[in-house]
Amino acid sequence: MNVMSMQRHTRKMPHSLPEGRAPLRRPGAGLPYLDAVSATDSMEHENQRLSAYEHQVKHAFDRIIPCVRKLAAIQYEEDFVPLASERIIDELDLTPPTDVLQKAWTRQLDVKQLVSHLTLATYYRFVSGVQHVNPLAHPQCADFVSFLADCGYHRMDITPCADGRLAHVIRYVLRLPAEVVRRKAYAGAAFAVEDNVAKWAEVELKRQQSAPGTNTKYLKVVAYHFSSIDGEREGCAAHGSDDRKAAEFGRDALLGFKNAVAQGFSRPDAVEGLLIGIDTATDSIVLHTPDLEGSIDIDSSLQSTDCVGMSSDKIRAYIGSYASHSSEGMQRLVSQLIENNLAQLAYVKTNHDGCYPDVGHAERFIGIGVGFDEIQLRNLMYFGYLTTIEEGAPDVDVGLKIFKGLNQSRGLSTPIVIRFDYYGSVAGARERAVARAGRVADALKSRYPDHFAAGDIHYLQLSRDLDTRAAPEFLGSNLPSLTEDNLS
């Protein structure tokens, strides 16, 4: 089904949404009535919903520092512990870490530990709540899958840079369903080709079983980034803010993956690559589409900003003239991506006057491991996808460098969530996930001994069974105050 025509016939959304409450979860929302609303109305409702969610989640993290500042000011008062506990409950809706508070009058309030504790506990509460509400559910998930198939692809897989300013690339920047688009982030978008070939083979096997005889391709997207504001400092840290280098690296990585599948499986046409550049100051995109042989020219690009105000038909015509070297299906796909991105440009215009106030890094924590699918928000988490520290060391190094500026420079630690999700239905999967989380924590300690000695890294280890909607399982932490009891 054509996604473009679907956008004009969406379910009627309520005009004002309670914060964080997805309209699809409201009673009666599943009723199969359709109401013709204009595409503009539909986009505005979606933007309001996404904005309410972003504001709610980020606000929960941003209340922590002001709250701790107030606590630090009253730490020697006689009734500090009950007073501070009450404030933590009222203002942050968290269980107070009583041990930390009780030590304040004899020593000094351990602000470093308290901020890390509250940050990691806020993350835990957020991720536990998301499992029940699914606030970013995409209203047209199935339609997107059939649209993708019409364009000639059975799977879309995106590797953005691990930079937190790209964490919202799927659900916000490109307005795609996170439920069906695979995301694996790496510093500088330097994805592991072997890991991706294994994923390709797994998907291909399933495809041949479920849809034999079809000839669709695996679409691999690399999203590099640059900044139209302060670009020499705020580009991709992994590529020294050299935009051209970031784009060339993405192009070469796509080619490397395509060739690996071609050579390893004698399937030269199985993979198609698409390179996207994202301006992290405005969320506008540039697209470098492949020719029929799969070659990508960095110097040839389509820009979403050129299409502002255009109708769907005009966008399609624009793509037809500037991407005539690409397949018909690729042209349809990128037309849709540009149309989707225009909704995000309207979002940034409405909420931030067209340019984010936090042009630079403002991540609240680092997440490493396998999981984190619910993080689809900009500048909340620096993300490193890895199964071992050895493999992901460059990503973690970049992350810690970013947090040196963000947190250590003001006397705070770097909060790290180590998380490994698994499918409980697979025998031994939980045990393997738990063992990995343990190994990664140990490897962190041996790779960054100075950080640990100075108390500059506080981590929380979690794992979650993806076969259930249960909250993640608490596995451990190097913060003695962070326990299973005060997370629940």
- Least distance in Å: CB of 230 to Zn ion? 15
- Least distance in Å: CB of 220 to Zn ion? 18
Q: Of 401 and 469, which CB lies nearer to Zn ion in the complex structure?
A: 401
- Least distance in Å: CB of 188 to Zn ion? 5
Q: Of 163 and 204, which CB lies nearer to Zn ion in the complex structure?
A: 163
Interacting residues with Zn ion (CB under 5 A): 161, 163, 236, 238
Triad 331, 337, 338: Cα angle to 5°: 90
Question: How many whole angstroms separate alpha carbon 298 and alpha carbon 70?
Answer: 51
Question: How many whole angstroms separate alpha carbon 138 and alpha carbon 145?
Answer: 12
Question: How many whole angstroms separate alpha carbon 224 and alpha carbon 275?
Answer: 8
- Least distance in Å: CB of 155 to Zn ion? 24
Q: How far apart are the first and last CA of the chain?
A: 43
- Least distance in Å: CB of 238 to Zn ion? 5
Helix (H) or strand (E) holding 317: helix 312-322
Q: Of 84 and 161, which CB lies nearer to Zn ion in the complex structure?
A: 161
- Least distance in Å: CB of 369 to Zn ion? 19
- Least distance in Å: CB of 390 to Zn ion? 21
Q: Of 207 and 245, which CB lies nearer to Zn ion in the complex structure?
A: 245
3-state secondary structure string across 209-263: HHCCCCCCEEEEEEEEEECCCCHHHHCCHHHCCCHHHHHHHHHHHHHHHHHHHHH
Strands 285-288 and 271-279: antiparallel
CB 97 within 8 A of CB 147: no
Task: Please name which of 176, 182, 183, 181 lies closest in space to residue 140, comparing C-alpha atoms.
Answer: 176
Triad 337, 343, 347: Cα angle to 5°: 135
- Least distance in Å: CB of 163 to Zn ion? 4
Q: Which residue has the tokens 């909340």?
A: 380
Within 10 angstroms of residue 85's Cβ, the number of other Cβ atoms is: 16
Q: Which residue has the tokens 């602000």?
A: 111
Strands 381-385 and 365-370: parallel
Strand, helix or coil for residue 187: helix
Q: Of 394 and 438, which CB lies nearer to Zn ion in the complex structure?
A: 394
What CA–CA distances, in Å, run from 207 to 155, 176, 220? 10, 21, 16
Q: Of 239 and 364, which CB lies nearer to Zn ion in the complex structure?
A: 239
Q: Of 397 and 465, which CB lies nearer to Zn ion in the complex structure?
A: 397
Task: Please name which of 105, 481, 160, 161 lies closest in space to residue 170, comparing C-alpha atoms.
Answer: 160
Within 10 angstroms of residue 175's Cβ, the number of other Cβ atoms is: 25
Question: How many whole angstroms separate alpha carbon 401 and alpha carbon 383?
Answer: 13
Residues acting as catalytic residues: 163
Strands 217-226 and 271-279: parallel
Q: Of 161 and 181, which CB lies nearer to Zn ion in the complex structure?
A: 161
Give the CB-side neighbour count of residue 66, counting CA atoms within 13 A.
7
